[in-house]
Amino acid sequence: MRASRIPALLVPVLLVASMSATAQDAPTPPPLPTEATTPPPLPVASVYIAEDGAQAGPFTLTELRDKVDAGTLTASTLAWQDGMADWQAAGSVDDLAILFEDDAAVTPDAPAGDIAASGDTLAPDFLVGTWRQQASVPMEGIGTGSADLTVDLGADGRFAMTGEIVLTFQQEMRLAVDGSGTYTATLRGSDQIEVVLTGEVTMTPPAGLATPETEPMNETTLYTVVDADTIRDAATGDTLTRVN
C-alpha cells in the first residue's frame, strides 16, 4: 500500500510551520545509555517437512541444511512453517530456497551416467516425458503376460498409458491397454524416485472374445535412476527407457 501523498500546494505551508515549531520548542534528546543494550534474539525458523510419508519437525535452518547435505531433503520435499496456508515444495518457500542454491540440479538433458554420481540431486521434472516399459506382467487367474507399454508423464501431473499385453496359454492373445489419470513423483535420496499412479486402466481383448474391462489404478513404485534415460523398478528390476 502506498503512503498518502501531500497536495503540492500544502508543501510550503507545512515546511514553514515545521521550521517555526522547531525554533520555538526544540526537543531535547534523551541521555545516552550508560550500558550497551542487548538486541532481542533473532527469530529461529521452525519448519516441518514431509519425511517418509509422515510429518516431521520442527527443524531449524541448520538442521535442514544437514538434511540437504545428507540427501534426505530436496527442493521438492513438502514443507510448512508458521504463516503458510498450505504445504509447499521446500524449494518454493522463500526462507528455504537458499538451502538449495548450491545443489547441482540434474535435468533430463544431462549426459548418461551423471545422474547416478554421488551427491547429485534430481530435478523435480526429471520424469516428464514419454517412457517405454517391456516387462513380464502377472495376470490373476491366467499366469504371466508380456507387456510392451508406453507411458507419457506430463508436466501438469497427468499420465496417459498405451500399449499391449500378450498372453500365451492355448493360443496367443493380445490385450490392448489404455490408461489415464494423475501421478506424483517424490525424490527419495539422490538417485531414487517414488512414483504413484492414480486413475483407470482399460484392457480390451480381440473383438468377439470378451468385452473391455476397466479397473481402478492406484500403484506405487520405487525406481532407481540408472542414467538420464533409464530408470529401474527397485522391486522387480524391470526398466523403463525414455522415448523423448
Rounded mean pLDDT, 31-52: 67
CA 123, 128, 132, 138 torsion-angle sign: positive
Tell me, yes or no, if the pTM score tops 0.75: no
Look at residue 243 in the predicted model and tell me its pLDDT.
Answer: 92
Angle at 174 between CA 169 and CA 180, to 5 degrees: 130
pLDDT digits (tens, 9 = 90+) for 210-229: 889 999 999 999 999 888 89
**pLDDT of 128 above 70:** yes
Of all residues in the chain, what percent carry a pLDDT higher than 70?
68
Candidate from 17-31, 126-140, 159-173, 196-210 with smallest mean pLDDT: 17-31
Look at residue 34 in the predicted model and tell me its pLDDT.
Answer: 59
**How many whole angstroms separate alpha carbon 105 and alpha carbon 109?**
11
Between residues 169 and 5, the one the model is more confident about:
169
Look at residue 106 in the predicted model and tell me its pLDDT.
Answer: 39
Between residues 15 and 193, the one the model is more confident about:
193
**pLDDT of 118 above 60:** no
Contact 175, 164 (CB under 8 A): yes
- Tell me if the domain spanning 47-103 has CATH number 3.40.1350: no
- Distance linking the first and last C-alpha atoms of the chain: 48
Rounded mean pLDDT, 181-191: 85
**pLDDT confidence of 164, banded at 50, 70, 90?**
very high
Q: Where are the domains of the chain?
A: 47-103, 129-242
How distant is the alpha carbon of residue 127 from its chain centre?
Answer: 11
Between residues 175 and 4, the one the model is more confident about:
175
Count of Cβ atoms closer than 10 Å to residue 157 Cβ:
12
Look at residue 37 in the predicted model and tell me its pLDDT.
Answer: 58
Rounded mean pLDDT, 12-40: 49
Look at residue 44 in the predicted model and tell me its pLDDT.
Answer: 57
Helix, strand, coil % in the chain, rounded to nearest 5: 15, 45, 40
17 Cβ contact partners less than 8 Å away, ≥ 6 residues apart = none
Look at residue 159 in the predicted model and tell me its pLDDT.
Answer: 94
Look at residue 9 in the predicted model and tell me its pLDDT.
Answer: 32
Look at residue 33 in the predicted model and tell me its pLDDT.
Answer: 56
